[in-house]
Structure 1
Amino acid sequence: MKIILIVFYFLQWVLWAVEAVPYDYSFTSECLKTPNKPQYDGGIVVNPELKEGLKGWANFGTAKLQWRTEETGNEFVVARLRNQSFDSVSQEFFLDKEKLYTLSAWLQVSHGDAIVVATFKTPTGYHNAGSTEAKSGCWSMLKGGLMVNKSGSVQLYFQSENPTVDIWVDSVSLQPFTQEEWKSHQDHSIEKMRRSKVKIHTVNSEGKPQANRTLIIAQKFARFPFGCAINKNILSNQAYKNWFTSRFKYTTFENEMKWYANEARQNQYDYSAADALLQFTRSNGVSVRGHSVFWDDPRFQPSWVPSLGPSQLAAAATARINSIMRRYSGQVIAWDVVNENVHYNFFESKLGATASSKFYTVARVLDRKASLFLNDYNTIEEPGDRASSPDSYI
């Protein structure tokens, strides 16, 4: 009887593994004339391509809904006569707190462009699941996801702070995954991207193949760039040094390469802490990301910088980028040239809209081998942060 039960559960597991829905990683930031088909054939969305009129869809707030067909034959729904940001089109679902949900949709607006956010009204509050910059004349893809804290009925709707635009919606998908399925997606990605087969040939001192040999292989470090930030306090803590170097081969310095740390007073430079940290990392084979040349948040400038006029700031910024990047060129694998310039615009407000792009142009000349990054926050963990959408980065 026990053997029969084991076989039964094994067959159940095999059937689950075969039937598990693979995750669709596809996404495009390109604005298309016609939207792509909904991912997962729409998942649990009723009438995802609007081929059955407004079936499954209702208005949210006071918006009026209209079903339309483009010249290409593509059908979609329009939320029009909007007065509030949340006036929109919606659909109701039952979501399970034990599952994870991935959402995608294609959006357009009647004129201009506008940030459109996918929001779920749930039993515990409102949760943004993703956003995109929708445009007029072409379709933009939104992709995101969510989990809920409490199982129950929810409403999905699309909102925009610009109530003068009509919101067009098409190719909507909401796909649930169990925790086991989500874990299987992770395992599959690891197998595909981070593992490979290796053939080992054993030879003697003369280079002749040796048969029937026993090998012991111990992985010391992963090739995957896994690291942790450090600061100057590690230099006086041997236990922390040992702990850090036994685990990480990549790092970035918390403050020691920032402008306010290197030039607290104008034209008085201090790179002693950064130099010491770089010597420590170099001696232990740890690669360093340079963080950061500039910071676009006005709160984190050297105290003497905010009062500078445009021409004075331009000169100071030129001196700054040349000072730090010439000093450490070839010693770091990457540079965060401008920190948080999606959320903030200190340099753009003083030097013009192209300030950051000019910094990157200069940075490429000063260090031709290092990768150049735009470093910002909320890029994954807060899908409702409109500043961190892919459109804002582009």
Structure 2
Amino acid sequence: MEIPQKPQYGGGIIINPEFNNRLEGWTAFGDAKIEHRELRGNKFIVAHSRNQPYDSVSQKIYLQRNMLYSLSAWIQVSEGNDAPVSAIVKTSEGFKHCGTIFAESNCWSMLKGGFMVDTSGLAELYFESNNTSVEIWVDSVSLKQFTQKQWRFHQEQSIEKARKKKVLIQAIDAQGNPLPNATLSLVQTRSGFPFGSGISRHILTNAAYQNWFTSRNFTATVFGDEMKWYSTEYARGTEDYSASDAMLKFAQQHNIAVRGHNIFWDDPNYQPGWVPSLPPDQLSTAVQKRLNSVVSRYKGQLIGWDVVNENLHFSFFESKLGENASAKIYHDVREIDGGTTLFMNEFNTVEDSRDGSAAPGKYLQKLREIQSYGGGGGGWAIGIGLEAHFSIPPNLPYMRASIDTLAASGSPIWITELDVSSQPNQAEYLEQILREAHSHPKVQGIMMWTGWTPGGCYRMCLTDNNFKNLPTGDVVDKLLREWGFTKAKVEGNTNPDGFFEATLFHGDYEVRINHPNINNYSAQHLQVMRSDEQKQGRQIIQLRV
């Protein structure tokens, strides 16, 4: 952008956020030199003569305990097109990494991030870049604080807008006349939001596992290992899809959608045992065979494919087959199953702001690289898969800011492997993350990485081995009830014109209508659609009794 936008929230607690008062409130950090500049009528601050990454510009701030802080700033560098610039807050207890942008020259880019603090006190906000040869230009800085109550209120308001819709139902008789004072009962039979738990092959032979899983009314699932290359072709040339075939059939029988995980995994440690030693020509042949086999087998039966898993952190196929290996694989998969959304899938993009390898900016760079391979021009959408394996307390402002940044691409976003490592507040953190994900209007589905095996789960189970809920399972059940997955009921009476209005979660409903003039109640089906599926802000339905 040639000129940065105004600071969010008017700058929040930041003094002189637009630098209209020259350097008021701002000082040099480290050994940098700072100066006030103006270009095309826009005023900003510049840190130059930098020798260390942290040499930059800073402002002292006062932080309050248990508050959530959303940060944004517009950044530019003096030269180059890929200079990482991070926002850092130095507190008495250490450093808070708020977010990273890959800045360009001659173009302002928005850095979004955030953090949470456990103690009150003075702190210092500054910016840093490992590229010490560039000047860091900063403008329109904002740091807005929110109470826990304010944050939760925003989540609830977002859910009302993004996950629900106003529905106006008119009950009429066989002649088309309105039925006043008719009693309507609406029961949600299926949620319109894809949400669920991963499963393992053990569900095929364990009735208790099946009963627990199917009774939750989950709308989506994913297989932990059973569709991966090392499971379906453990020995070279011998394919076995029996487990994944049976699991897919089980899910389809219960009207549960399935994500395809995964076609390839870029981590060298998770290849079939016979793959790493193959010379490039044989590996290329094996890759093409695997791709054709699994994608053709499940074409049109899945709601998404994780194509080359974790190709930001790892590069097994690139190291063997060239730097465009991932991009070529995506395009080959698209040729076979172009009707299914193809996903990137990564960890630490929302979990850990310190991991620059998977920062939102890096994610979008890789996504565009795949889209443009072979002269594609970037005209097709690649799904953004966010694994969400949390090992540290969730940084909700950073999570929200990261999803905001990714959403600007227009690509569909899913939380694909959510779990929280074992820790005293595991269930509490799970609830916080689920609420944040579900409330974000650009998140189109949530999968938990909680497939059960007799030896336990990857990092987080929802039940014990007798399929009695653990505290994490209780959290999930509470949210399933709250979000309308468990046959939530809405009742009311029509007005004198036969109308009844309600705000309902997206999904399928059974509507029962009773009226004194009707001998038997009338049961009908209703689908409440998302606004992007139906243009009107309010859905109007006429039901004939």
Q: TM-score, normalised by structure 1?
A: 0.88
**Cα distance change, pair 249–74 in 1 and its aligned pair in 2 (3 A):** same
Q: Paired residue for 1:76, among 37, 44, 59?
A: 44
1:208 and 1:40 mapped to 2: Cα distance? 52
Partner of 1:198: 167
Q: C-alpha displacement at 1:383, in angstroms? A: 2.3
SS state of the match for residue 184, structure 2?
A: coil
- What is the root-mean-square deviation of aligned Cα atoms in Å? 1.6
**2:193–2:219: 8 Å Cα contact kept in structure 1?**
no
Q: Paired residue for 1:328, among 298, 301, 310?
A: 298
- 1:163 and 2:111 aligned: no
Partner of 2:198: 229
1:206 and 1:256 mapped to 2: Cα distance? 56
**1:117–1:384: 8 Å Cα contact kept in structure 2?**
no
Q: C-alpha displacement at 1:337, in angstroms? A: 0.8
Partner of 2:77: 109
Partner amino acid, structure 2, of 1:238: A
SS state of the match for residue 217, structure 1?
A: strand
- 1:281 and 2:251 aligned: yes
SS state of the match for residue 297, structure 2?
A: helix
SS state of the match for residue 87, structure 2?
A: strand
**1:230–1:253: 8 Å Cα contact kept in structure 2?**
yes
Partner of 1:297: 267
Equivalent runs, 1:174-189 vs 2, <5 Å: 174-189=143-158
Equivalent runs, 1:1-80 vs 2, <5 Å: 32-70=1-39, 72-80=40-48
1:157 and 1:65 mapped to 2: Cα distance? 12
Partner amino acid, structure 1, of 2:57: V
State the identity as a percent.
Answer: 52
Q: Structure 2: any 5+ residue segments left out of the alignment?
A: 365-545
Q: C-alpha displacement at 1:222, in angstroms? A: 2.0
1:304 and 1:227 mapped to 2: Cα distance? 34
Larger deviation, residues 172-181 vs 231-240: 231-240
**1:105–1:171: 8 Å Cα contact kept in structure 2?**
yes
1:203 and 1:77 mapped to 2: Cα distance? 66
Partner amino acid, structure 1, of 2:151: W
**2:172–2:178: 8 Å Cα contact kept in structure 1?**
yes
**1:123–1:150: 8 Å Cα contact kept in structure 2?**
no
**1:100–1:179: 8 Å Cα contact kept in structure 2?**
yes
**1:132–1:141: 8 Å Cα contact kept in structure 2?**
yes
1:330 and 1:378 mapped to 2: Cα distance? 30
- 1:245 and 2:217 aligned: no
**Cα distance change, pair 73–209 in 1 and its aligned pair in 2 (3 A):** closer
Deviations 1:167-215 (A, max 9, x none): 1111110011111211121111111111112233445678765443322
Aligned residue pairs: how many?
362
Larger deviation, residues 344-353 vs 127-136: 344-353
1:170 and 1:375 mapped to 2: Cα distance? 33
Partner amino acid, structure 2, of 1:221: R
1:180 and 1:381 mapped to 2: Cα distance? 22
- 1:362 and 2:344 aligned: no
SS state of the match for residue 78, structure 1?
A: strand
Deviations 1:19-47 (A, max 9, x none): xxxxxxxxxxxxx1221111111111111
Q: Structure 1: any 5+ residue segments left out of the alignment?
A: 1-31
SS state of the match for residue 305, structure 1?
A: coil
Partner amino acid, structure 1, of 2:114: G
Moved over 6 A (4+): 205-208
1:210 and 1:169 mapped to 2: Cα distance? 63
Deviations 1:67-123 (A, max 9, x none): 2222x0212111112121111111111111221110001111122131111111112
1:228 and 1:169 mapped to 2: Cα distance? 43
Partner of 1:124: 93
Deviations 1:234-258 (A, max 9, x none): 2222222122122211011111111
1:200 and 1:284 mapped to 2: Cα distance? 29
Q: C-alpha displacement at 1:353, in angstroms? A: 1.9
Q: C-alpha displacement at 1:309, in angstroms? A: 2.0
Larger deviation, residues 194-203 vs 359-368: 194-203
2:191 and 2:93 mapped to 1: Cα distance? 41
**2:348–2:359: 8 Å Cα contact kept in structure 1?**
no
Partner of 1:314: 284
1:204 and 1:250 mapped to 2: Cα distance? 38
- 1:217 and 2:186 aligned: yes
1:68 and 1:216 mapped to 2: Cα distance? 65
Larger deviation, residues 230-239 vs 205-214: 205-214
2:176 and 2:248 mapped to 1: Cα distance? 41
Deviations 1:315-346 (A, max 9, x none): 11111110100111111111111111122111
Structure with the bigger RCO (C-alpha within 8 Å, sep 6+) is 2
SS state of the match for residue 308, structure 1?
A: coil
1:82 and 1:216 mapped to 2: Cα distance? 68
**2:100–2:361: 8 Å Cα contact kept in structure 1?**
no
**1:124–1:149: 8 Å Cα contact kept in structure 2?**
no
Partner of 2:380: none
Q: C-alpha displacement at 1:124, in angstroms? A: 1.8
Partner amino acid, structure 1, of 2:153: S
Larger deviation, residues 286-295 vs 303-312: 303-312
**Cα distance change, pair 206–261 in 1 and its aligned pair in 2 (3 A):** farther
Larger deviation, residues 205-214 vs 144-153: 205-214
**Cα distance change, pair 57–342 in 1 and its aligned pair in 2 (3 A):** same
Partner amino acid, structure 2, of 1:216: S
1:336 and 1:118 mapped to 2: Cα distance? 31
Larger deviation, residues 377-386 vs 56-65: 377-386
2:280 and 2:125 mapped to 1: Cα distance? 46
